[in-house]
């Protein structure tokens, strides 16, 4: 979620949202189309020519191959963008634990410094 809130390149975010919308529309369409093709292939095997059934099965295989290829390429692209972002946008804060050697007024200053951290920073 921090990547989505980051004011970085908007092109990458638009691509992610576009791919998510496409995935949400294409998945049910591919499923229904594949089911209809296979259903037609079964009907053609029982009632008419086997050539049409083989054609419908080949169409189903091609449809799902293209769908899986697009899904894998899109997923790999977005994973690569996320890993690149994670590598280049690291923020780390080192919190020093309270010790018995530090006077109480310095301990309170350390506590105040840790409260003033930015929400995008990681606590270690």
The answer to which of 33-47, 53-67, 76-90, 104-118 has the lowest mean pLDDT is 104-118
How many whole angstroms separate alpha carbon 115 and alpha carbon 122?
13
Q: Where do the structural domains in the chain lie, given as residue ranges?
A: 10-68
Tell me how far CA of residue 73 lies from CA of 6, 11, 47, 80, 96, in angstroms.
24, 17, 39, 11, 44
Q: Which residue carries 């093709």 as its tokens? A: 37
Is the pLDDT assigned to residue 36 strictly greater than 90?
yes
Per residue in 46-85, pLDDT tens?
887 888 889 999 999 999 999 999 999 999 998 998 888 7
Summarize the confidence of residues 36-43 as an average pLDDT: 91
Residue with more model confidence, 85 or 18: 18
């Amino acid at each position: 979620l921090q990547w989505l809130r980051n004011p970085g390149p908007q092109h990458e975010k638009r691509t992610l949202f576009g791919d998510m919308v496409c995935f949400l529309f294409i998945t049910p369409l591919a499923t229904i189309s594949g089911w209809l093709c296979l259903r037609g292939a079964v009907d053609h095997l029982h009632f008419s020519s086997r050539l049409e059934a083989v054609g419908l099965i080949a169409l189903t295989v091609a449809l799902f191959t293209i769908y899986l290829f697009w899904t894998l390429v899109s997923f790999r692209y977005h994973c690569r963008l996320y890993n690149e972002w994670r590598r280049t946008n690291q923020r780390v804060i080192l919190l020093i634990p309270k010790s018995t050697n530090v006077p109480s007024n310095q301990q309170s200053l350390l506590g105040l410094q840790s409260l003033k951290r930015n929400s995008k920073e990681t606590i270690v």
